Amino acid sequence: MQHVSIKDIARAAKVSHPTVSRALSNSPLVKGETAKRIRQIAASLGYRPSAIARSLATKRTKTIGVVVTSIADPFIADVISGVEEAANDHGYSVFLANSNANPDREVRVVHSFHERRVDGILVTASRVGALYVPLLSQLKVPIVLINNQHPDETDEFIYSVTIDNIKASTEVMGHLIGLGHKRIAYIGDRGGFQSDTERLAGYRQALAVAEYPFLPELVVHGDGKPGGGEQAMESLLALANPPTAVFCYNDMSALGALRALHSHGIKIPEELSLVGFDDLAIASYTFPLLTTVSQPKQQMGRMAMEIMIKLLSRIDSKTNIKVEGELIVRESTAPPKF
Amino acid sequence: MQHVSIKDIARAAKVSHPTVSRALSNSPLVKGETAKRIRQIAASLGYRPSAIARSLATKRTKTIGVVVTSIADPFIADVISGVEEAANDHGYSVFLANSNANPDREVRVVHSFHERRVDGILVTASRVGALYVPLLSQLKVPIVLINNQHPDETDEFIYSVTIDNIKASTEVMGHLIGLGHKRIAYIGDRGGFQSDTERLAGYRQALAVAEYPFLPELVVHGDGKPGGGEQAMESLLALANPPTAVFCYNDMSALGALRALHSHGIKIPEELSLVGFDDLAIASYTFPLLTTVSQPKQQMGRMAMEIMIKLLSRIDSKTNIKVEGELIVRESTAPPKF
DNA sequence: GACAATCCTGAACACGTGTGCATTCTCATG
DNA sequence: CATGAGAATGCACACGTGTTCAGGATTGTC
């Protein structure tokens, strides 16, 4: 006998198994004395209820499917750590699935979540294809998106947690403009992600407020990774009149930009100011330390999971939460040279 | 009716539900023609078998519990991405649990995995407490450890994948000695982890082979994180006769060391050579690029999961796998100045 | 002491799938 | 045409838990 069941306990306690079931779930229907005895026997036998059988009976698995494009992405990993923590706190377990932005894998994940009868699905959407969420929503299960990249999700099952990109972006620009910079460049992402679009919007908005002209040649595109950031920075440095400050879509891009600057022997922040976005752990260990926007990554994960749990408990909850980023000024920004 | 069951299909196909069950599992017992018809109906109804019910009947959940100290650790995140990929390829799903090296959480994880009747458990042991594995092994389920930190696990259920630290470490030292370094320091971890002990052993072994003296003042201890690496490097720089090369327990420590060196204005690699370990993504974006040892992180995760799956399929498998690291020479090492 | 009201308990069934065994059907063979 | 063998299918039960309902035990009241 591999596992002890409530029937085993029932036999030992000379009661029926429904009584055991009730006693262990603290039902008021069972006499206090009996319940206590049953619980003691259960403990002494090392009883652990079968979540499987319980799920079958109750039709709730207390299980959440979590899709990420890649858990190796440090931003996502931080978010997931918050997700898992909140889930654990409420007795939920998470199924982790990498999609790798691969359509085949995506449909397999959907099938897997479907068959396992997850109660809900969490998606860190930073690179998830546009067609994916509709696919997931076929499961008729609540979905919470974190930093989703498609603004038009109007499905009734869909909730979200996102950072206020425009606000954070204008704050970054305010910082640079306040230092005296006038030629400020933006290194964006490729592919028109929601977050890129919004950060660019904040960039333009801040320029407009300061009554600085918007110069298209100062907006270049990377790929959200160091390689793209490096190339983008190279193209900025090749301009006849290069910028004195550069605002990068994310820290990864900034890392690449930093590399390009180092290889040109350009001193930061004396000759050029650089700002990232995300406040990855690395940003505290670059040289110089990177000024960036901190997203409450873990907390966002936690919030997303808490929205989910409220939904599953039929508690009304906000459908869309916007959190604020925080500008972290470190060593990579300073007033322009002249 | 939320989900379609085999009974629904049976009704539609005018057969009994066991026949449907057999048809869908490609049993030779059911007539080819009937099976085909049943499969068509199943597909048209969008049938997805309930893994829950199946698990209850077969006593196998096709589920693996994965414990990590923190998924936010980039090393671990890489390993897990390999784990998840291999699991997915074989129809297994993974429950992810962070323990945060917190004993309370650890026992909750054990209970959770027990109740969910996972088929096996994977542990990335880099920071897991010594008492934890025995706790897990109570579940009488196979356990595979990745880079475990306690050499004495002799339980019959326990298997492992580890990197050959001694070999990698002597290779690093060979590189530095080959460049002409004689005063080589080692920045270790705290707390006597297996990997730290082994890397230090490789360090000493290489010194012995080169017939260089082992100087205790050149071995200092960090904490495996940048903060500790920075302090450790400071203490090395405070020596009357500082080293010309420093081998760090891991890249995180090296990042801290790098920071200390920058703040002292010490040029790398001209004035001092620095080597890390792990080849985290960051190592390709530090300044200068970090020479380090690459562990096949994803592959190690994949191998661990494949051992697990073989075990569960009653296929004989190696119980302990040692993989080799690869020395990646980048820009942070060079011959000593004089 | 009789009766009702309340409190506990157990029997029966449900959840969806898999499997051993009995049964029916089909077809070839004597 | 009867018989037997083998193929195809259905019946019944199991997995472990939760829940409805009926009935038994207990208590209180007149």
User: Tens of pLDDT along A313-330?
Assistant: 987 777 789 999 999 999
A156 pLDDT more than 80: no
- Per-residue pLDDT tens over the stretch A173-220: 999 999 999 999 999 998 778 899 999 999 999 999 999 999 999 999
pLDDT at B151 over 70: no
Q: Which residue has the tokens 């096709």?
A: B62
Beta strand A63-68 with B93-98 is unpaired
Mean residue pLDDT of chain B comes to 93
Measured distance CA(A185)–CA(A217) in Å, rounded: 8
Task: Say how far B146 CA is from C2 C1', in Å.
Answer: 74
Nearest alpha-carbon partner for A66 in A144, A161, A168, A181: A144
d(CA B298, nearest CA chain A) in Å: 9
Predicted local distance difference test score (pLDDT) of residue B168: 98
- Mean pLDDT throughout A62-76? 95
Residue of B6, B54, B67, B71 to mutate, interface with A, max A Cβ within 10 Å: B71
Q: Among partner residues B56, B72, B256, which is closest to A53 by beta-carbon distance?
A: B56
Of chain A residues 277-306, which have a beta carbon within 7 Å of strand C?
A: none
Is the Cβ atom of B100 within 7 Å of strand C at any atom? no
Using left for φ > 0, alpha for ψ between -120 and 50, and beta otherwise, residue A279 falls in left
Distance separating alpha carbons of residues B120 and B113, to the nearest angstrom: 9
pLDDT in the model for residue B126? 57
Which DSSP helix (H) or strand (E) runs through A94?
A: strand A93-98
A330, A283 contact by CB (below 8 A): yes
The token duo for B76 is 């671990």
Rounded CA–C1' distance between B19 and D3, in angstroms: 28
The rounded Cα B149 to chain-centroid distance in angstroms is 12
> In this predicted structure, what is the pLDDT of residue B3?
93
Q: Strand C contacts (CB < 7 A) among B residues 12-31?
A: 17-18, 21-22, 24-25
pLDDT at A152: 62
Question: What is the band of B2 on the pLDDT scale with cuts at 50, 70, 90?
Answer: confident
Nearest CA in chain A to B261: A287
pLDDT value at A60 more than 80: yes
Contact B222, B231 (CB under 8 A): yes
Residue type, B26: N
Q: A299 pLDDT exceeds 80?
A: yes
Residue with tokens 């919004």: A198
Q: Are A299 and B302 in contact (CB under 8 A)?
A: no
**CA angle A233–A238–A241, rounded 5-degree value:** 105
- Per DSSP, A273 falls in state E
Give me the mean pLDDT over the A30-42 stretch: 93
Map residue B310 onto helix, strand or coil: helix
Q: Give dist(CA B120, CA B317) in Å, integer.
A: 15
Return the pLDDT at B86. 97
How far is residue A148's CA from residue A151's CA, in Å, rounded to a whole number? 7
> Which residues of chain A lie closer than 8 angstroms to B24, CB-CB?
none
Bridge partners of B326, per DSSP, are B294
- Looking at residue A261, its pLDDT comes to 96
pLDDT at B67 over 60: yes
Query: Among A1-5, A32-36, A39-43, B50-54, which stretch is predicted with the lowest mean pLDDT?
Result: A1-5
How do strand B184-188 and strand B219-221 relate by DSSP bridges?
parallel
> Which of A295-299, B131-135, B312-316 has the weakest average pLDDT?
B131-135
Q: Cis ω on the peptide bond leading into residue A269 (within 30° of 0)?
A: yes
| Residue A185, both tokens | 């460049």
Averaged pLDDT of chain A: 93
The label of the residue with tokens 């994803």 reads B298
Residue with tokens 């890397």: B199
Contacts of B285 in chain A (CB under 8 A): 226, 255-256, 258-259, 282, 286
Helix locations, B90-153, DSSP H: 103-115, 132-137
Average pLDDT over residues B315-334: 91
Predicted pLDDT at B130? 61
Report d(CA B324, CA B166) in Å as an integer. 10
Q: Which residues pair with B273 in a beta bridge?
A: B245
Q: Do B286 and A286 touch (CB under 8 A)?
A: yes
The helices-and-strands tally (H runs, E runs) of chain A is 12, 12
The pLDDT assigned to B43 comes to 96
CA distances from A14 to A9, A48, A50 (A): 8, 19, 21
Q: Do A116 and B52 touch (CB under 8 A)?
A: yes
Is the CB of residue B220 less than 8 Å from the CB of residue B189?
no
| Per-residue confidence band for B282, with pLDDT thresholds at 50, 70 and 90 | confident
CB A135 within 8 A of CB A158: no
Residues B310-334: what's their mean pLDDT?
A: 91
Q: Give the CA-trace dihedral at A295, A298, A299, A305, to 10 degrees.
A: 130
Q: Which residue is nearest to nucleotide D7 (CA to C1')?
A: B29
Q: How far apart are CA B111 and CA A49, in angstroms?
A: 10
Alpha-carbon A128 to chain mean position:
12
CB contact under 8 A, B97 and A97: no
pLDDT score for B152: 62
Q: Are strands A245-248 and A93-98 parallel, antiparallel or unpaired?
A: unpaired
For residue A272, pLDDT over 70 is answered with yes
Does nucleic acid strand C have an atom less than 7 angstroms from the CB of B51? no
Q: Residue A135: which pLDDT band, with cuts at 50, 70 and 90?
A: confident
For a pLDDT cut of 70, what percent of chain A falls above it? 96
Cα atoms in the Cβ-side hemisphere of radius 13 Å centred on A206: 27
Averaged pLDDT for residues B271-286: 93
Q: What residues does A64 pair with on adjacent strands?
A: A94, A120
Contacts of A5 (CB under 8 A, 6+ apart): A17, A50
Quick check: B210 pLDDT over 60?
yes
Residue whose pair of structure tokens reads 């994180």 in the numeric block: B225
- pLDDT for the residue numbered B295: 95
User: For residue B218, which of B246, B192, B199, B256 has the smallest C-alpha distance?
Assistant: B246
**Structure tokens belonging to residue A213:** 């002209």
pLDDT of A321 reads 92
Using DSSP, state whether A185 is helix, strand or coil. Answer: strand
Lowest mean pLDDT segment, chosen from B7-16, B86-95, B131-140, B279-288: B131-140
With an 8 Å Cβ cutoff, are B117 and A284 in contact? no
Residue B324 clears pLDDT 80, i.e. is over it: yes
Q: Which helix (H) or strand (E) holds B86?
A: helix B74-89
Question: For chain A, how big is the Rg over CA atoms in Å?
Answer: 26
Residue of B5, B93, B259 to mutate for A, most A C-beta atoms under 10 A: B93
